[in-house]
Structure 1
Amino acid sequence: MERLVDNIRAGKGGLYPGVEDVFGFLKENGYAIYIASNGLIEYLKAIVEYYQMDRWVTETFSIQQIGTLNKGDLVQSILQKYGITNGAVVGDRLSDISAAKDNGLISVGCHFDFAREEELAEADYVIKNFEELKEFLPTIGDRIGLAK
């Protein structure tokens, strides 16, 4: 873990293409952004700090923060903490899609590095890349609590 964190701090890593642009767009348009990750706390903290993601992200949550190690429970803890009643979960794995569905949220599958077609097929919507969110989310704004 230490080596991984050191690599991030040394700039030997990167965000998915379009993340900074999309996060900026979402923040400017009133969307709240939370990260719910299976990544470990130290790893996530290094990424958020190095890329200054707190410019856009309200809070980052690690699976380590809950006892069950279940992504659905992690998302539920975010919803409870912030009083969120609707929204979307964007991710590339079945655990992301299931977390959305378990909490009555919209699931958006995205073709990131770890995406598997059979898992993405379970999502309510599928996008090819992160940048599609800029056009896609406004079309479902009423369903995620933002009528634009």
Structure 2
Amino acid sequence: MPINKTTPEAMIFDLDGTLFQTETLLLPAYHATFEQLRAEGLFQGETPDEKYILSGLGMLLEHIWQLVMPDADAAVHRRADELLLELQVEGMARGEGKLYDGVADTLRELHRRGVRLFIASNGLEAYVKGVIRNQGLEPLFEAGGLYSAGEYATRSKVDLVRQLLDKYGIQNAWMVGDRSSDVEAGHANGLFVVGCDYAGFRKEGELDRADVRIADFRDLPALLEA
């Protein structure tokens, strides 16, 4: 499918590592999750190194837990899902979690210019919508446009983005994200891909195929003028 590099009618954003500094909410909840798993007799030993959960950001949750707890069974993984979501939602309510510098103002500027804004994330529905709502960003996004693998039960971000494009009749959009799954989802759907190279979660080479890379989210509006 040919890549359309003209000024987009819409931008589709990944959430974790793109808009949201995930670790500011995730890591306290991660450690609390393992405390509870141990209390319930579902896990023994030390909490797995944070590097495993951070390296899995952008993946589907089932794949993340296979990295973090490869020897645990599926029931333990599902309980970890429940606990991590619950603890992150509680953290949001306490005001935990931060956006990257300039994200809110940049999104407002894009919205002011008439760009339609969407989310496509491999996270759970309550988490994705909760982050956007608690950060006060919801009015900037298209109604119903916060897409998550948790809500739509997609097996890949390629499918999630395709559903979004079809639902809203979008012909020309940019995909903006920090992982190879974002690059793949964008190109498989004929989108121009902006790679966000500032989170530090990615592996070497993940953004090599992005059409352009930015080192600061605030660089995004200038790409519209290039």
Instruction: State the TM-score, normalized to the length of structure 1.
Output: 0.88
Asked if 1:66 corresponds to 2:66, the answer is no
CA offset at residue 29 of structure 1?
Answer: 0.4
Farther-moved stretch of structure 1 (90-99 vs 64-73): 64-73
Call closer, same or farther: CA 1:116–1:22 in 2, change over 3 Å: farther
CA offset at residue 115 of structure 1?
Answer: 3.2
Q: Which residue of 2 aligns with 1:40?
A: 124
Call closer, same or farther: CA 1:55–1:20 in 2, change over 3 Å: same
Q: Which residue of 2 aligns with 1:106?
A: 192
In structure 2, list runs of 5 or more residues that go unmatched. Answer: 1-84
Secondary structure of the residue aligned to 1:36 is: strand
CA distance in structure 1 between the aligned counterparts of 2:203 and 2:112, rounded to whole angstroms: 31
CA offset at residue 117 of structure 1?
Answer: 4.0
The one-letter amino acid paired with 1:36 is A
Q: Which residue of 2 aligns with 1:126?
A: 213
CA distance in structure 1 between the aligned counterparts of 2:119 and 2:130, rounded to whole angstroms: 14
1:47-100 alpha-carbon deviations (Å, 9 max, x no partner): 122112112111201012334321011000110011001110000000001000
CA offset at residue 112 of structure 1?
Answer: 3.5
CA distance in structure 1 between the aligned counterparts of 2:116 and 2:156, rounded to whole angstroms: 22
In structure 1, list runs of 5 or more residues that go unmatched. Answer: 140-148
Instruction: State the TM-score, normalized to the length of structure 2.
Output: 0.59
Larger RCO (CA under 8 A, 6+ residues apart): 2
Secondary structure of the residue aligned to 1:65 is: helix
Asked if 1:53 corresponds to 2:137, the answer is yes
CA distance in structure 1 between the aligned counterparts of 2:189 and 2:151, rounded to whole angstroms: 18
Farther-moved stretch of structure 1 (54-63 vs 94-103): 54-63
Q: Which residue of 1 aligns with 2:169?
A: 83
Aligned partners of 2:180 and 2:207 also within 8 Å: yes
CA offset at residue 116 of structure 1?
Answer: 3.5
The one-letter amino acid paired with 2:86 is E
CA offset at residue 136 of structure 1?
Answer: 1.1
CA distance in structure 1 between the aligned counterparts of 2:184 and 2:198, rounded to whole angstroms: 17
Aligned partners of 1:18 and 1:130 also within 8 Å: yes
RMSD: 1.2
Q: Which residue of 2 aligns with 1:25?
A: 109
The one-letter amino acid paired with 1:77 is Q
The one-letter amino acid paired with 1:83 is G
Stretches of 4+ aligned residues off by more than 4 angstroms: none
CA distance in structure 2 between the aligned counterparts of 1:117 and 1:29, rounded to whole angstroms: 34
Aligned partners of 2:124 and 2:151 also within 8 Å: no
Q: Which residue of 2 aligns with 1:7?
A: 91
CA distance in structure 1 between the aligned counterparts of 2:92 and 2:180, rounded to whole angstroms: 26
Secondary structure of the residue aligned to 2:97 is: coil
CA offset at residue 8 of structure 1?
Answer: 1.3
